[in-house]
Amino acid sequence: MYTYICIRMYVTKKNKKLKNECANLEEQISRLQSENQELKSKTATLEDRYEKDVQQLQATLDEHVQMIASLQEELSNKEKTLQLVEQQEQQIKEKVSFFVFYNKKK
């Protein structure tokens, strides 16, 4: 009978200890689940914010690309105009030189 009581006490102590350990583990699980939810929420918030930032940057990039293309076209047109003006200037100088030379001979 004594052995039975000792075994019973041992089993009871072990059960209490296991119950405490289970309660501690359940508490840790609950805390970790809360942290997990909080981190998921923060991650979703960050993803949303960065997605909006990326979309805004993409829109801005598209605008800048279009603006650069427009400016390059404008520059090209101005360079062509400048070449024409320089050619006309050269032609005028040649005509003036010819007239000056021609008038000196007379």
pLDDT in tens, 3-42: 878 888 888 888 999 999 999 999 999 999 999 999 999 9
Residue 99 has pLDDT above 80, yes or no: no
**The token pair that represents 50 in the structure block:** 């960065």
List % helix, strand, coil for the chain (3-state, nearest 5): 100, 0, 0
Q: What is the pTM assigned to this prediction?
A: 0.49
Number of helices (H), then strands (E), belonging to the chain: the values are 1, 0
Mean of the pLDDT values across residues 75-87?
A: 97
